[in-house]
A and B are shown apart, each in its own frame.
Chain A
């Protein structure tokens, strides 16, 4: 259930709009920013606010890459698998991330901190290989740079030195 004060915040976002459903992305993103993902319950609440049926919201929620219908970790890592990143070392970047986090695509670390997902070309081909974490882009990735980024986000990188990176 959406708490009352947050519901008012969402309602304000929609207020005065002729067609409330136009604001579905804003509403879903606000919900995800607060709750992490769009649960069935939240989806139904959102549908009520947007004057849509839950099915209509589901049609849209399952259509997009950055709408999560299942629980995700505190930080969602999307690794770009566009053709330019593919050419510039996507595979080794991915191996390094998998090794560091101990998870594969679609999985979340046991501590609930990180989820690993792919994404199509994110438009940072001039800084490939690239990835996106919490809608922030990181480019020119190397195993070292990935370690720095993960460390800043709270991954304990001390001790596990099984580095797959051979750049």
Chain B
């Protein structure tokens, strides 16, 4: 299995700057700064079909192209390391593996949009990762890859680490921009888009950690090489899949984009925990839909998942077995979403606690048959929310009712949780 982002992965230590450079690290940056027009960098990412790994799957090159040539300065390049989607830990593993590819990616993207201010936005529970990044940023600076006039190119950039203090909504692009400015982190509905007016109304390009880490490799090896890393011609690159829950070996694995779910679980995560049978999984974190067993062989890439009516999300597979109560699991997640709602808009602030209360009643054995259509209605209603948090929160509920209505019915009929 070709390892790109994890090629310097060691079980017990972080790859050093020297090690990263020995494997070709910072050569892409050197080439870009000395001979690549900015448009060429953007075109390479576009040709490579580099899609945003934070969950939205937006083409990275296209995002950079939306920063107008005439846009004001200074511009911002933000690395989103907030990673608060339940079940997701790939960015943490990546930072603890080979942090310089993230820093190099930020500088290359920064150059392509002329952003001289880099910010890594990181969650509070990743304090170790934050310290690693601060240390390695200093090392990159000492080696001449950051600071004024990088490698004599005339392009300057600084990167700083912004610590968050723990709130799911901060992973949302526009809420994060507010958080960076020291404002309450509520989302802002576009237009204008952040690439036009972001931090302090200046152009701001935000990418997930994994997306940025792909950039130097694309520059160095070309878009065709990158596309060919995938499992089939309709996908591109590798993907960091996280697997957790009822599997033998939970972990983060770099596999071709579009690897089948069955391979991810059976081969790479060592199969199910002994004594457990696969019931379902959330394929891309808590805000994706439960996947029925009939899709166990599905190819895990943005397009294939979308065609099947699902979302790849962050590619973080949470595996549930036959003995785990899905009403209980959904209640747990709805508790999370209700708590994390920023409170800005009514459908989310009021709708999610309401859905949580209905689920709690069902789980406690006090559910009524009418609760099922009510939950369905609420799952649709919360799509009226201001940002994507509430629709994401409704995904497990809606799919629970679609694929596992029997389980919900059993709770209501028996006036108790059949699993307890």
Contacts and interface: CB of A to CB of B under 8 A. Distances in A.
Interface of A: 19-26, 28-29, 50, 52, 59-60, 63-67, 81-84, 86-88, 119-128, 132, 135-137
Contacts of A122: 125
Given A26-B163, A64-B165, A125-B250, A83 B333 contact: yes
Question: Shortest 8 CB-CB distances between A and B: which pairs?
Answer: A21-B182, A65-B166, A64-B165, A125-B244, A121-B86, A122-B125, A126-B250, A24-B182
Contacts of B316: 125
B83 A19 contact: no
A66 B324 CA distance: 31
A127 B92 CA distance: 13
Interface string B309-330: 0000000101010001000110
Interface residues of B, number: 51
A25 B163 contact: yes
B286 A123 contact: no
A135 B127 contact: yes
Given A50-B182, A60-B184, A87-B324, A82 B126 contact: no
Interface string B338-349: 011010000000
Nearest to A65: B166
B185 interface: yes
A137 to B, nearest CB: 6
B339 A120 contact: yes
Given A83-B333, A83-B336, A126-B89, A21 B181 contact: yes
Contacts of A137: 125, 128
Contacts of A135: 124-125, 127
26 contacts: A19-B182, A21-B182, A22-B162, A22-B181, A25-B163, A26-B163, A29-B163, A60-B183, A63-B167, A64-B167, A65-B165, A67-B165, A82-B86, A120-B168, A120-B336, A120-B339, A120-B340, A121-B84, A121-B87, A123-B83, A123-B89, A123-B92, A125-B88, A126-B244, A126-B250, A137-B128
A103 to B, nearest CB: 21
A64 B163 CA distance: 12
B200 interface: yes
B180 interface: yes
Interface in B239-265: 242-246, 250-252
A121 B171 CA distance: 14
Contacts of A124: 89, 92, 125
B164 interface: yes
Contacts of B402: none
Contacts of B92: 123-124
A120 B124 CA distance: 12
A87 B182 CA distance: 36
Interface in B118-171: 123-128, 162-168
Given A52-B182, A66-B124, A81-B332, 19 more contacts: A21-B182, A26-B163, A29-B163, A50-B182, A60-B184, A63-B185, A65-B165, A65-B167, A81-B336, A83-B333, A86-B332, A120-B336, A122-B125, A123-B84, A123-B125, A124-B89, A125-B245, A125-B250, A136-B127
Given A25-B165, A122-B125, A82 B336 contact: yes
A90 to B, nearest CB: 9
B161 to A, nearest CB: 10
Contact of B182 (A60, A123, A127): A60
A20 B324 CA distance: 49
Contacts of A22: 162, 180-182
A141 to B, nearest CB: 14
B87 A82 contact: yes
A123 B127 contact: no
Contacts of B127: 135-136
Contacts of B250: 125-128
Contacts of B184: 59-60, 63
B272 to A, nearest CB: 13
A88 B320 CA distance: 11
Nearest to A20: B182
B145 to A, nearest CB: 22
Given A126-B242, A126-B244, A83 B86 contact: yes
Contacts of A128: 244, 250
Nearest to A51: B182
Contacts of B286: 83, 121
Interface in B322-376: 324, 328-329, 332-333, 335-336, 339-340, 342
Contact of A64 (B86, B164, B200, B332): B164
Nearest to A22: B182
Contacts of A127: 250
A67 B335 CA distance: 20
A23 B127 CA distance: 17
